[in-house]
A and B are shown apart, each in its own frame.
Chain A
Amino acid sequence: MRRASLLAAVLIAASSARAEDWLASAQAASNDAAVASEPAVPMPANAAQAWVPYDSGEFHSELPAVGWYAHEEEDALGTVTRIYGPDSSSGSVRTTISVRLYDRSMPGFLSAKLAVEAMRREDSGRDVTPVHAMRVAAGLARLFEINETKRAARDEGPSIPEHIHQYVAIIPRGESYYLIRMVSTRESYLDSRDVFARFVKRLTPIGAR
């Protein structure tokens, strides 16, 4: 029985479904479709490796030309930019980079140091890596990782705990700081690590260019 389960898991895992994000796959198929009234969408050969500049109201950086979608919105904490990447193979957590600028005018503002401490809290089912520094375009970033086991999809069933991974980067700007976080599953975070690293390295505050 156990052997059959493993075999089934391997077969499912080997299916084309795992090859790429379902959204990207469907988009590629529709772009290739022959439509009489609309010409096919030409896709450059190296589009998957290309990067494009991204300008938010608060920063500038770069993103992959294909497969990442950036949206900016307001919430109770201020402006947040969320950039959605590929979905996990379990289909429960889409890799998402978020960027926020924290400043003193925000209610309950914590300094960068305290914010790092709060995020690096130890909790049951949660472990964090040490902080290390990385030189980026906007200054000196503090980076660490958070691994946590929790249910990501809590409202619909079957609901199964996921191993969530977070990359967190804090880039101080005086008293203010940028908080950049990439949420993904532990099994897929390495796929997007380069994107996160490049995004953080190239992030430049507006007006600092």
Chain B
Amino acid sequence: MKALAAALFFAFCLGGPARAAGDAALSAYDAKAVPLDDLSLDLLASNGYEVRDDGKVWDKIGDSAVTIDAMPELLTRLAGARRLKALLQLNAIFNRYDTERHLSDDDREAVRGLVRNAWSVFGPAPRQDFRSYFTPQELEALDKIPPYQAPGLTDMKDPDTSITAGPAAAAGASITAAPAAAPAPAASTAPVVSITAAAPAPAAPDVSTAAAVSITAAPPAASTATAAAAAGAAGAAGVAGAAGAAGVASAADAAAGAAAGVGPGGTAALAPLSAVPSLHRASPFIASAPPPTSAPRAVPVADVKFIPFTAPSGSTSTAVSPKAPDPTAGQFKAWTPPVISTAAAAATAAAVAKSSAAAVAAAPKPAAPAAPPPPKIVAVRAVSADEFAKFVEDGPYTRETKDMFKLIGQRAPEFCLPLLRRTVATTVPQIIVDGRRTGLALRAGIMRDASNPELPPIIALSPGPVFYERSKLFFKPSPREALLLPEAPEAWSELGVAAPTLLAMSGQPPAVPETSGPWGATRAYADGSRRGTYSAQEQAGEMLEQLLLLGLRREGFGASEYAARRWARTAKLLFWAKINDDFGDAFLDPDRRDEFESWLDHPDEVDDVLYATWASAREPVMDPRAGPPADERAFEETQRKSCVRSAIQTALIETSRRRARRVGILEELIDAGLVDAEAAKAAAAAAADAELRERRAFAARPPACPAFDPYRAEALRKSGVLLVEAARAEGVLRSRRAEAGGAHASR
């Protein structure tokens, strides 16, 4: 009985799908026809395989050539083994210590070496765990290596067999509108994606501008479990196409999970998964793999009617035409969207639109915008401290400005100095002291001449605050309760009201004596307005922050305003901390002093309040939906799945934010009696009307889907590096203060 069972088992294996898939899958892998990337070659060479001159990959231990269908599984196993070995070695090091913080220098260097060697086979999670061992410059280089992701079923493509015949048909899956012999998207024609070259992939077909596709799948999988079972069987019978209409994505997931347990040989690679148009994952081993963002999404709709993809031009037939044998059959390839006739597409689109209650008053589809141009590459030239000092000395700056530059050069934290020097030496910013040119900002702002962007940027510094103190019946007004007012005309025009006619804001205020106060040397005018003075040290800090923001945006680190602001703010606070060490913090105005002291002693509290402000309508630095750069990437991916609605949402949110900001400020100005109530009411009503008008306009004519920006993910990743660097620089200060044992030494 056992012998019979064994015989049946072997017969089953021999006659299994790997055999049924054809000779192409069994033929030896040809590294000349389908070149391997560097990582693959390294993995093979270091594990007893040899790439021979004829292109065959020879297993020196098994003394046989590696077949085409076995190669993906082999590479996956080798990468996994390398990763496991590295993690075990790291574990052995960490086990010698109570905590990772106490690693000796030698062991720390050993960890760095191990991690660096295994970086290419690490996925996102282990990479995140070991980021703290590298400098931002090293991370910059390491992050160019795409994270390792093991190929799964969803990376595979039906090689050549028609999806209306063969195993899929045998399993009961009948799929019409299958891939015709139409030109494939550009993404699928690239020969090989090198693991080391992070070249941006061509833009994917825009989901929003897609024509309709109708896929009629026969018996839907009854449940995920059924799909999983079918996929499990695919290991033996190649019937993964059984994933039906009921939850295409979940079925695909289940199929992928089941395939993970498929034995060596990767027989499931031949399972026809073209019916699962989703979940493509980039893999270093996938030839011609498009980036994940280019993968069309799965849209489970009743009766499996999809409207997600663009039919490539020239495709006029839904007929499935037989193809010539593919020499790369059995290899991982990009999934190619099915194409159908334009007539069928129109009919399906009409049917879906008719059945959709949401499309009662469907708006016209906007034209797709052109893809954004690649980011301007800025030549980065290192500027030494001496060069910088000489440049400033000879530069077009006043004596006061030169003194501020010198102070910055001496006291600014090391991590920001290279950027600062090259920004100043390259862009030659003008520094002016004029509160009317700081825009909405109270202390400093960047200005550019819109009519001539080639002109050097202008950093405008305010000489001192204009403020208004509300009188109280018995008590002296607190400097905390002063109303700080912007001087720039555009700040008031944005609010829709005229600037208050205060003496402190007039061009020619009356001469009054200066008195020393919390806001520096202050002139108090008869109408209750005041003009204070910012110290040179405070102005230098504000100037440093603006110059760093200028440099970050110029060099492509400004994708996340939140990250850029945090990085520049950390540099400014560390700069002030150095001055504070020698002279105390009396040079700061009451607001900045409160912020600085709280940041030193209670950083969690001040950060929480600050970020609550940055997520508000008043100072929109971070979109609370998107969050920090790491989450922003995922958020934008999600947004792209329904890009028209997301574009509407983004536009509406901006108009709502402007209205909320204007109304909120006007309420407070009315309360302070600084603006005319009627005018403020009219301005608030105008803001509400403008929002309503824009909402109607968007409903009538939705904004176009923003074009896919292949450089966006990279830009956000660079922004993420800024947060790491800022945290590290601040952490050094906190550790130093903790060792010094100061009171409230920053938890």
Contact = CB atoms under 8 A, between A and B. Distances in A.
A200 to B, nearest CB: 15
Contact of A96 (B612, B677, B731, B745): B612
A52 interface: no
Interface stretch (B195-203, B273-281, B576-584, B668-676): B668-676
Given A5-B670, A34-B360, A96 B649 contact: no
B616 A94 contact: yes
B359 A115 contact: no
Given A12-B684, A37-B307, A90-B667, A17 B659 contact: yes
Contact of A36 (B363, B659, B723, B734): B363
Nearest to B209: A37
Nearest to B736: A107
Given A36-B363, A100-B604, A102-B747, A153 B627 contact: no
A106 interface: yes
B702 interface: yes
Contacts of B594: 150
Given A36-B363, A77-B603, A183 B648 contact: no
Contact of B616 (A75, A88, A110): A88
A45 to B, nearest CB: 16
A156 B739 CA distance: 36
Contacts of A46: none
Contacts of A15: 663, 684-685, 688
Contacts of A135: none
Interface string A51-62: 000000000000
B657 A22 contact: yes
B613 interface: yes
Contacts of B644: 35, 37-38
A174 interface: no
Given A22-B657, A107-B735, A92 B613 contact: yes
B672 A107 contact: no
Nearest to B684: A12
Contacts of A118: 601-602, 744, 747
Describe B's contact surface by its main secondary structure. Answer: helix
A44 interface: no
A7 to B, nearest CB: 8
B360 A71 contact: no
Interface in A7-26: 7-9, 11-13, 15-17, 22-23, 25-26
Interface string B30-59: 000000000000000000000000000000
B678 A4 contact: yes
B731 A12 contact: no
B612 A183 contact: yes
Contact of B645 (A41, A82, A115): A41
Contacts of B666: 12
A22 B649 contact: no
Interface in A72-130: 72-77, 80, 82, 84, 87-96, 98, 100, 102, 105-110, 115, 118-119, 124-125
Contact of B663 (A12, A26, A39, A72): A12
B609 interface: yes
Q: Which of A30, A98, A161 has the most CB of B within 10 A?
A: A30
A8 B681 contact: yes
A112 to B, nearest CB: 11
Given A71-B631, A77-B603, A149-B481, A91 B747 contact: no
Q: Which of A36, A95, A98, A155 has the most C-beta atoms of chain B within 10 angstroms of its own C-beta?
A: A155
Interface string B627-648: 1101100000000001011101
Contact of A27 (B441, B613, B649, B669): B649
Given A4-B677, A105-B101, A153-B613, A39 B723 contact: no
B39 to A, nearest CB: 29
B186 interface: no
A157 B609 contact: no
B660 A73 contact: no
B663 A153 contact: no
Given A16-B688, A98-B608, A34 B667 contact: no
Nearest to A157: B486
A34 B612 contact: no
B499 to A, nearest CB: 10
Contacts of B735: 107-108
A13 B480 contact: no
A173 B595 CA distance: 30
A35 B668 contact: no
Interface residues of A, number: 83
B87 interface: no
Contact of B659 (A22, A30, A98): A22
A93 B609 CA distance: 8
B745 to A, nearest CB: 4
A119 B605 contact: yes
A36 B628 CA distance: 32
Contact of B615 (A5, A73, A96): A96
A203 interface: no
Given A37-B307, A91-B616, A153-B616, A159 B358 contact: no
A181 B609 CA distance: 10
B645 A151 contact: no
A50 interface: no
B316 to A, nearest CB: 22
B498 interface: no
Interface string B572-609: 00000000000000000001101100000111110111
B639 to A, nearest CB: 11
A160 interface: yes
A72 B629 CA distance: 11
B263 interface: no
Interface stretch (B239-247, B617-625, B706-714): B617-625
A37, A95, A98, most chain B CB atoms within 10 A: A37
A9 B67 CA distance: 78
A85 to B, nearest CB: 8
A159 B669 CA distance: 10
B680 A39 contact: no
B661 interface: yes
Contacts of A207: none
A76 to B, nearest CB: 4
A20 to B, nearest CB: 10
Contacts of A110: 744, 747
B686 to A, nearest CB: 12
A76 B668 contact: no
Contacts of A47: none
Contact of B746 (A35, A105, A107, A150): A107
B747 A106 contact: yes
Interface in B312-350: none
Nearest to A76: B730
B121 to A, nearest CB: 23
Contact of B727 (A76, A115, A158): A76
B723 A73 contact: yes
Closest 7 pairs between A and B when the two form their complex, measured CB to CB: A71-B627, A40-B358, A91-B617, A157-B486, A91-B664, A36-B362, A108-B738
13 contacts: A5-B673, A17-B688, A22-B660, A31-B649, A35-B644, A38-B358, A38-B642, A91-B660, A92-B618, A94-B616, A107-B731, A149-B480, A183-B612
Interface of B: 99, 101, 208, 210, 307, 353, 356-365, 440-443, 478, 480-486, 491, 591-592, 594-595, 601-605, 607-609, 611-613, 615-619, 624-625, 627-628, 630-631, 642, 644-646, 648-649, 652-653, 655-657, 659-661, 663-674, 677-678, 680-681, 684-685, 688, 695, 698-699, 702, 723-724, 726-728, 730-731, 734-735, 737-739, 744-747
Given A37-B307, A71-B631, A84-B615, 5 more contacts: A22-B656, A34-B359, A35-B362, A115-B747, A183-B608
